[in-house]
Amino acid sequence: MIQLNAFTQAAVLINTGVWVTICIMKTTIDISDHLLQRAKDLAQDENTSLKELTEQGLELVIEKHLSRKPHVVKPVVFDGQGLSPVFKGKSWAEIRDEIYRGYGS
């Protein structure tokens, strides 16, 4: 059996009157020389390609990110009587202005 690459297969299909769309995407990433060398060494040790190793790593990071639970912030509550009587019924702008009175605001 003859193995044909994607371009050869497409040429054969086009010659037979069938329209074919080929999408090949290449991406360039910039990583440190040290990390690249470590990845190449690991790929060789694991008898795999750098492409496959990179895809595995990206899958792991994406899965980890997607499986994270959202961080829930607990409200801070103080045992007290709420606003002092002088501030009851005041807007936040009025309270803020009082807090910063004398500090240039």
Query: 88-100, pLDDT tens digit by residue?
Result: 889 999 999 988 9
Q: Running DSSP on this structure, what letter comes out for residue 72?
A: P
Listed residue (42, 59, 61) closest to 50, CA to CA: 42
As given in the structure block, the two tokens for residue 80 are 């007290």
d(CA 101, CA 8): 79
pLDDT digits (tens, 9 = 90+) for 8-57: 555 555 556 656 566 677 888 899 999 999 999 999 999 999 999 999 99
Indicate the domain borders of the chain. 6-67
The structure's pTM equals: 0.46
Q: What is the dihedral of CA 10, 11, 16, 21, to 10 degrees?
A: 40
